[in-house]
Chains A and B, each alone.
Chain A
Amino acid sequence: MSTATGDAMTPLLEVRDLSVGYETNGGFWGRRGIVPAVEGVSFEIAPGETLGFVGESGSGKSTIGKAILRLVSPLAGSIRFDGRDVADDGPRAPLSYRRQVQAVFQDPSASLNPRHLVAHSIESSLRRHGVTTRSEVRDRTLEAFEMVGLDRSHLQRFPNELSGGQQQRVARARARVLRPRLVVCDEAVSALDLSTQGQIINLLADLQQSTGVSYLFIAHDLGLVRHIAHRVGVMSQGSLVELAPVDDIFGSPQHPYTRRLLGATPASSPEGRDERRARRREFRAKAEAVS
């Protein structure tokens, strides 16, 4: 993407030594423990940049997104947005933060309220953020819809009357309508077929080009991340094991886990698959010998 960033710019988001844990529910008397999900993770996102996070399930990549969205509270560390530590805001994030940081989740049908017209979800966001006049709400809703490639006819429909790709566009429109500066995309296209996936990815790129929004793009599909991200972070067991520009990660991975992940990712064509298989076998034999 052409809006790539210079390192000299001040970061939009700066995360330092972030740790997040989940409480476990003990038995009847509630003996609780904390299971760490993310430990000591640091990174930053520049304005107009897309940072990709990859890792396997349970690696903690989604938890980071939730911490930034203030859906879970960090145990330690700081999350600075535009120079301010959002952890200082207490349990409730201020509206200004809510407006500037938006999210798109994996399952578009579950993230839209099935009982409300799709327009409603966008209008209520607008009203909440101070846009109250009827005509302005209508105009901005329509504008957001048009930006994501939907039209007037889609406004007055229920989520189950739209296709998966269209639902994801509505979710995008909702995230878009408040003109945020950072959007967290958590497996935002994983549930879609290949043919629809591309449309949403292109849409994200277009919006970035026109508005300069930053993305935190969390996905397990390395091919997808390679395509959209400027820099990529690799998560494993709650830690950020490698963080580098996209070409370095895919061209000369440093960390053994990154190499393993890349080695396991199916290639885009059959050439050299026998060698890849042999390499994996070798690697496993070595790992077994060690353990």
Chain B
Amino acid sequence: MSETSTTLIAVSGSGRHQGRSSNIGRIVARMRKQPGTIVAGAFIVVLFFTAILAPLLAPYDPTQVNFDNILEPPSAQFWLGTDDLGRDQLSRLIFGAQIVLIVALGAVVVAALIGVPLGLIFGFNGGWWDRIGMRFIDMAQALPGMVIGLTVVAILGRNIIILMFAIGLIGASLFARMTRAVVLVERNKLYVEAAEVAGLPRRQIIFGQILPNLVGPIVTQGTVFLGSAIMIESAMSFLGIGLSSDIPTWGAMLSLALDNQAVAPHLTWPPGIAIVLTVLAFSVFGDGLNDALTGERRRLPRLGLRLAQAEEERAARAAVPTVQAAIGADTSSSSGAQPVLVAHDVSVALAMPDRTQARIVKNVSITVAKGEIVGLLGESGSGKSTFARAVLGMLPPGTWLATGSIRLLGEELAHRRESELAHIRGTRMGAVFQDPMNALSPVHSVGMQLTEPLRLHKAMNRAQARARAIELLERVGVRNAASRLDDYPHQFSGGMAQRVAIAMALAADPELLIADEATSALDVTTQAQVLDLILDLRDEYGLGVLMITHSLGVVAETCDRAAVMYRGRIVEDSSVETLFHDPQHLYTRSLLAANPANAESSGRLATIDGELRMEIDRQLDAFEADEAGA
């Protein structure tokens, strides 16, 4: 393609990840970890030296006409053969590198000189400047670059400066757009607001922010556009609207190759390969530079680690039956009612970048009976959500079930195949997550998503599923359910969207509902409504509910029993009365004391830090050491 204008330069995230972008050493260090970037960089260096040293390297004068050696195939004398005027192809190729690099570099400079100031003006002034200016940029970008280049050449004629200008004009819109994006992102940063409150003038803040933030994207954009400029230059030369045909350019060489294809096919290869490698080198290098600047890393575990994970999982799978037998006997004797969920000794491992693994959930056992609401209480990072995902069989990549058994209505779920789990999810257990506004696909109607589990699991036809979906929506308190079925998620408020998500989770009559911070993103009055709904549904259908939350209040209002998680482990599992009035574990006691709703309305809040934190950790360490010893 003659343009690679869609290359994504990471603008929005730049501030967050960069840390210290001014630190060139760090960027170079990052780039050195990307083998592709090193190869591309080396190629670019070699190319530049070839271009500079062209007169020394080329065996012949590239314009030397020699009628004795017309269209010769490659030979010891002419390594790459000759063209229809007997000119040496290798020499033309080497001098072609010189021309193409000069034109492309010139074009990048022109593009940046036109584009960056425009972007700054639009981004800063905003309002009408921005609106009208961006319309022009849009229009310029919508036109094929070739048409812009061709128009400039038609008007101004053909020489190297005009060619640079023509190609630069094509790229100017890219630079303008990128600059504006950087300005807008920095303008709206919270720390700009914070600095403004401190009394620093806005213009100075933004400039101080933008200039360092702009260097990276400009260099990256420049590198990527350099590749595009080479493509455009070659295409224009190929079409005969670039430089005059006796100047050696790769595009013109290909034009000759096309004319003499039948008799001299060897002319086709060298210029084409030269263009491909050069453009590829610049785009790979540009991408590498972008990654290094934004600090993006390949996140997935290495192959070696994944093999280790597979092995680990196999071992854990083999260990399950014995565990099963052990707890099978245990649960049947202890209580009469069949529990809905029995998780025993569940551990989840996480693959670390240094090829070791860490346990993020450790030996967690929990039971949920029919009609019981069991809380799983913990702070962020305590492993409570990971445990929920382990039960659902939806652990994120890089984590896996290391030990344990998960029985749902007596059926073992651990290490089941995805296809089997897919059927169990929905029919026996459903889940509701945080963030209701993103819990439904924005481009599908609510009805379509709600009928999905009905048609899949209940084998209903379209009309039956629709009728049932309306019933469900009415049950969870969505008014005018019939007419709202064809609405899209963005037409619902957060509370309503969460009701729809609950309806979807319960559509195929599961016995267990997992609510993972299901009300944390909602306002208090909406939260109360959604919690009441869950309570009502429990009463009506005898659902078992696993209520995962960080909020003591949610546990107090809804749970029959609650387990407290800390550092991946359950430190206490008590009835809700015991938990609040006679907490057994030091951590639970500390947590209750730190709750401002519990504290006296004046005086200091209890906190969990320093000595207390160390004491809790010490107790847990001792417990773990004990367990390891036993």
Contacts and interface: CB of A to CB of B under 8 A. Distances in A.
Direct contact of A and B (CB under 8 A): yes
Interface of A: 1-2, 28, 30, 56-57, 69, 71, 93, 95, 98-99, 101-103, 105, 107, 110-115, 121, 124-125, 128-129, 158, 160, 171, 174, 178, 193-199, 201-202, 205, 220-224, 226-228, 246-247, 250, 260-261, 263-270, 273, 276-277, 280-281, 284
B622 to A, nearest CB: 21
Nearest to B200: A128
B596 A199 contact: no
Nearest to A250: B601
Interface string B183-218: 000000111011111111000000001001000000
Contacts of A111: 190-191, 193-194
B594 A266 contact: no
27 contacts: A1-B602, A56-B524, A105-B193, A111-B193, A111-B194, A114-B15, A121-B195, A124-B200, A125-B195, A128-B199, A158-B20, A174-B194, A178-B198, A195-B607, A195-B613, A197-B594, A197-B596, A198-B605, A201-B605, A221-B596, A222-B597, A223-B598, A226-B601, A264-B529, A266-B597, A269-B598, A277-B535
B584 interface: no
A198 B607 contact: yes
B18 interface: yes
Contact of A199 (B197, B531, B558, B607): B607
Nearest to A221: B596
B21 interface: yes
A281 B535 CA distance: 12
Nearest to B551: A266
Nearest to A56: B523
Contacts of B577: 270
Given A2-B602, A112-B191, A264-B525, 9 more contacts: A114-B16, A124-B200, A129-B198, A202-B605, A223-B598, A264-B524, A264-B527, A265-B528, A281-B532
Contacts of B189: 110, 113
Interface in B97-115: none
B417 interface: no
Interface in B486-537: 523-529, 531-532, 535
A71 B205 CA distance: 15
Contacts of B591: 194-195
A282 to B, nearest CB: 12
B609 A107 contact: no
Contacts of B16: 114
A220 B596 contact: no
A125 B379 contact: no
Interface residues of B, number: 63
Main SS class of interface, B? helix
Contacts, number: 192
A198 B594 contact: yes
A164 to B, nearest CB: 9
B199 A266 contact: no
B556 interface: yes
B553 A267 contact: yes
Contacts of B581: 269
Contacts of A2: 602
Interface in B369-428: 379-380
B198 to A, nearest CB: 4
A8 to B, nearest CB: 22
Contacts of B526: 56
Contacts of B523: 56-57, 220
A248 to B, nearest CB: 12
Nearest to B15: A114
A273 B576 CA distance: 12
Contact of A226 (B524, B580, B596, B607): B596
Contacts of B529: 264, 284
A220 B607 contact: no
A221 B608 CA distance: 19
B552 interface: yes
Contact of B197 (A98, A195, A268): A98
Given A111-B190, A112-B191, A270 B576 contact: yes
